[in-house]
């Protein structure tokens, strides 16, 4: 039925146009009904032949196009639903991204604190080692200075004693003073 309606509509427009054309072409006041009748029959025959040979192709063309448009719209609706779902997924990922960023920042801060603690511990250990080495070096230098001073003092004492002993003492007193001086220097 849907295929027939456009055909009859087209025939009606053709008949309307042909009736107007016929009315304008005749000079007499009467309407040539037989001529009009044959024209209508002629249009019906042409319409039946077109429907017989090309009706299905015309129907497929017009109604196939309608079906393909419906299918395209259905496909577009499916794609729209898919796009909306994808959009929701992306929005969820963006929301989760903020949480992930906060987690990564917290993890990085914890790791930085751990690295800082390790570096400070190592620096303190190194400082302690350097401090002990400096104390050892200072102690060794002090001991070396003490030995050198004792040696110099002993030499000075010996020289002074020898000088005094030669000037005022006899040989026996001289030896006794040297012995006492040496024993004091050696024991200190």
pLDDT exceeds cutoff 80 at 144: yes
Structure confidence at residue 26 as a pLDDT band (50, 70, 90):
low
**Residue 61 banded pLDDT, cuts 50, 70, 90:** confident
Write down the pLDDT at residue 62: 74
Mean pLDDT over the full length of the chain: 81
96, 88 contact by CB (below 8 A): no
Residue, of 52 and 9, whose pLDDT is higher: 52
pLDDT at 103 over 90: no
pLDDT band at 25 (very low <50, low <70, confident <90, very high): low
- Sorting pLDDT into bands at 50, 70 and 90, what band is 168? low
- Is 60 exceeded by the pLDDT of residue 188? no
Residue 51 CA: distances (Å) to CA of 35, 38, 57, 94, 175: 24, 19, 9, 60, 159
**Residue 185 · residue 154 · CB < 8 Å:** yes
Residue identified by tokens 């997924």 is 89
Pairwise pLDDT comparison (133 vs 15), residue with the higher score:
133
pLDDT at 29 (0 to 100): 52
Prediction pTM value: 0.36
- pLDDT, residue 112, reads 92
Query: Is 19:36 a contact under the CB 8 Å cutoff?
Result: yes
Closest listed residue to residue 44, CA positions, set 82, 18, 26: 18
DSSP-based three-state secondary structure for 118: helix
Q: Tokens 């025939």 sit at which residue?
A: 11
């Amino acid at each position: 039925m849907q295929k027939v309606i456009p055909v009859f509509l087209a025939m009606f427009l053709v008949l309307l146009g042909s009736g107007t054309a016929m009315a304008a072409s005749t000079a007499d006041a009467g309407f040539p009904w037989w001529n009009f009748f044959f024209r209508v029959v002629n249009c019906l025959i042409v319409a039946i032949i077109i429907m017989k040979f090309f009706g299905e192709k015309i129907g497929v063309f017009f109604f196939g196009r309608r079906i393909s448009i419906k299918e395209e719209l259905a496909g577009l609706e499916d794609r729209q639903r898919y796009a909306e779902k994808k959009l929701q997924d992306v929005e969820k990922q963006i929301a989760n991204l903020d949480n992930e960023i906060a987690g990564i920042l917290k993890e990085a801060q914890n790791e930085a604190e751990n690295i800082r603690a390790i570096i400070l511990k190592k620096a303190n250990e190194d400082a302690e080692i350097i401090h002990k080495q400096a104390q050892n070096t200072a102690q060794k230098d002090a001991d070396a200075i003490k030995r050198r001073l004792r040696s110099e003092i002993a030499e000075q004492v010996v020289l002074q004693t020898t000088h005094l002993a030669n000037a005022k003492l006899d040989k026996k007193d001289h030896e006794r003073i040297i012995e006492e001086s040496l024993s004091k220097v050696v024991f200190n």
